[in-house]
Structure 1
Amino acid sequence: MPLALLALAIGAFGIGTTEFVIMGVLPQVAGDFGVTIPTAGWLVTGYALGVVLGAPLLTVLGTKVSRKKMLMFLMGLFVVGNTLSALAPAFGLMLAGRVVASLAHGAFFGIGSVVAADLVAPHKKASAISLMFTGLTVANIVGVPLGTYIGQAAGWRTTFAVVAALGVIGLLGVARLVPEQGRPPAPSVRGEFAAFRRAQVWLAMGMTVLGFGGVFAAVTYITPMMTEVAGYSEGAVTWLLVLLGTGMFLGNLLGGKFADR
């Protein structure tokens, strides 16, 4: 496997960490800005909306430049967004930083998957893509609990500063290790929308929306639920997030094997 996959995995690790780490430091963020925890939950909603809007828009815009340049641009957005979150003097700017960082999310994984597959022989394409996505799953086991611990020990702003630094490492890795692959073909917008004529597409989307809606509704407020309702100490949240991340990792692994069957 080429080293370029490591650069993509680092980027995926940073994106996965920033997506979920807010859930571990949500009470601290709410307290610092003087807002309620439900209001602070908009930092998760805003991120999700940014993913929804950013993925198709930036993927289409990405056809104007090479895939490598687009990946570098996306990691740059990620760094800017997390830096803004780390320095934000007001809740509104913190939310804006989350949205900016989220714009890179979907497009990075979409374009990165294509790049990863093109880096290896045809019979290794699935393995290359899974290696890139390992960064995302490991983020739930290591990045999110570690970011939560840093937030509790040194402040949540330090957490986002560290995540921004991860983005810089990912950006430099892409610039150094990912080869140029030329511009991708421009997609047919009409052809893309034609997929929505199929009932199976709507059923798959509905299952995904409802499934992840339930997961994020619970996970967003996992810290106050575990400390204020379940009675765990604040220090135990880090290990609870490790347990959650391990479940995500194993579920993804087993789910893939069962899907193959």
Structure 2
Amino acid sequence: MKKSIYIMALGAFGIITTEFGVIGIMPTIAKEFNVSIDTAGWLLSGFALTIALTGPFSVMLTSKINRKLMMCLVLGIFVLSNIMSALAPNFAVLMIARILPAFLHPVFWAVATVAASKQVEPKDAPKAVSVVLGGLSVAAVLGVPITTYVAELYNWQASFYLSGLINLIAFAGLVAYIPSMPVKENVTPENQLKILGKPQLWVNLVATLIMIAGMFATFGYLAEYLGKISHMSGGHISLMLLLFGTTGIVGNWLTGIALSKNVILTTRVFLLSLVAVHLMAYTFGGLFVPMAIIISIWGFIHTGGFLIGQTRSTSEAPEAPELAASLMVSFGNAGVTLGSLLGGFMIIHYGIQQVIWISIVLFAVAFGLTFVNVKKAIVTAEAEEEAIEELVFEEEPVLELSRD
């Protein structure tokens, strides 16, 4: 595998750490700037909402720019964003600093996955893409505990400096090792937009949105849950998040193996398992040792959601991979936004422990959508029409013979 692919994976690690790293320090930021926890939640949901609304447009508008230049530009903006966040004098400036890089977040994701597949022989393309996806998966599970630990060790600003450093290292790697990638294909919006006519793609995207909303309705406030319900200190919360992330790496790997055998069955087992672990967290959340065990199981299951969403969504549009990838990122981040907003609403009106029920309801809806197969319905309808036509065609000669 080429070195350039691992550098793009490091870039993915950096931008996802920037996005999700705020989860562990959200209570600290809320206290620092004297805002409520649901207002602080906008540091995550606002970032995600910006991606959801602008992702596909950003990808199409930049589709003719040299791909190396585009990736470097994205990482450079993420470096500046993290520095601005660390130096923010008030919550409004911090919010602006967080949102600015979100406009180009899906561009890096879409470009990196497609560029990685073109760096190797066609037969090795899935492996190359999985390496870049690995950067996202590792960031999703390790980015939060790392930034939380650094904030606990020093201060909340240090977590942003760390995220900026990761992006800076990836930026330097891109400049030094990634070859120039001019766009040679005749990329037009019309060609890309054809995939929007696929109904099953929309079903999978909506299912992904709801699934990820369920994941983040509770996970987005996990640090708050562990502090208020499990009565854990900041150091204990950091360790729990690290445990969550460590078991998640193994879970992500096993999810990939399971998806290669049966995508739908894996998705259903994943959703039912999340329902079970959320119920356990609700029941035993006040007990330290049982909650530590539950966290390890939770992390093991949780991380596979990103890979499931990616697999189900992008498999429907291989002819426009960058746009399909950006749609997945947009719907996924819309899910993060929805989950964060619903979680914040439940916390404010019913208390932190009741946030679990929002996740369970969303998982149930996503589970129901796994039984919706538009492609199969269309194929069945077409087969029935063909059968009727064949029947009519066969009966006509018999009618003619009867007249004779």
Length-normalised TM-score, structure 1? 0.93
Post-superposition Cα deviations, 1:171-216, rounded to whole Å, max 9, x if no partner, equal 1111111111212535443444443333312211121111111111
Residue 145 of structure 2 corresponds to: 145
Letter in 2 for 1:65: I
In 2: Cα distance, 1:242 partner to 1:205 partner? 30
1:45 shift after superposition? 0.8
In 2: Cα distance, 1:187 partner to 1:52 partner? 22
In 2: Cα distance, 1:230 partner to 1:238 partner? 13
Letter in 1 for 2:160: F
Residue 197 of structure 2 corresponds to: 197
Residue 212 of structure 1 corresponds to: 212
Residue 354 of structure 2 corresponds to: none
In 2: Cα distance, 1:177 partner to 1:44 partner? 32
CA separation of 1:186 and 1:82: change in aligned 2, threshold 3 A: farther
In 1: Cα distance, 2:185 partner to 2:93 partner? 36
**1:57 aligned onto 2:66:** no
CA separation of 1:157 and 1:184: change in aligned 2, threshold 3 A: farther
Conserved in 2, the CA contact under 8 Å of 1:54 and 1:105? no
Conserved in 1, the CA contact under 8 Å of 2:142 and 2:246? no
In 1: Cα distance, 2:164 partner to 2:194 partner? 38
Residue 122 of structure 1 corresponds to: 122
Residue 243 of structure 1 corresponds to: 243
Residue 37 of structure 2 corresponds to: 37
Conserved in 1, the CA contact under 8 Å of 2:46 and 2:99? yes
Conserved in 2, the CA contact under 8 Å of 1:55 and 1:104? yes
Higher relative contact order (CA 8 A, sep 6+): 1
**Of 49-58 and 187-196, the range deviating more from structure 2:** 187-196
Paired residues, what number? 261
**Where do residues 177-192 of structure 1 align in structure 2 (5 Å cutoff)?**
177-183=177-183, 185=185, 187-192=187-192
SS in 1 for 2:245: helix
**1:85 aligned onto 2:85:** yes
Conserved in 1, the CA contact under 8 Å of 2:15 and 2:75? no
C-alpha RMSD over aligned residues: 1.8
Letter in 2 for 1:254: L
SS in 2 for 1:203: helix
In 1: Cα distance, 2:220 partner to 2:184 partner? 36
Residue 94 of structure 2 corresponds to: 94
**1:103 aligned onto 2:86:** no
Post-superposition Cα deviations, 1:96-151, rounded to whole Å, max 9, x if no partner, equal 11112322322111100111111111221111111122222222343321210111
Letter in 2 for 1:26: M
Identity of aligned residues (%): 31
Unaligned 5+ residue runs, structure 2?
262-404
Letter in 1 for 2:129: I
Letter in 2 for 1:257: I
SS in 1 for 2:104: helix
Residue 154 of structure 1 corresponds to: 154
In 1: Cα distance, 2:228 partner to 2:130 partner? 37
Conserved in 2, the CA contact under 8 Å of 1:81 and 1:97? yes
CA separation of 1:70 and 1:187: change in aligned 2, threshold 3 A: same
Residue 288 of structure 2 corresponds to: none
SS in 2 for 1:73: helix
In 2: Cα distance, 1:73 partner to 1:53 partner? 20
Largest Rg, 1 or 2: 2
Conserved in 2, the CA contact under 8 Å of 1:11 and 1:75? yes
Conserved in 2, the CA contact under 8 Å of 1:150 and 1:159? yes
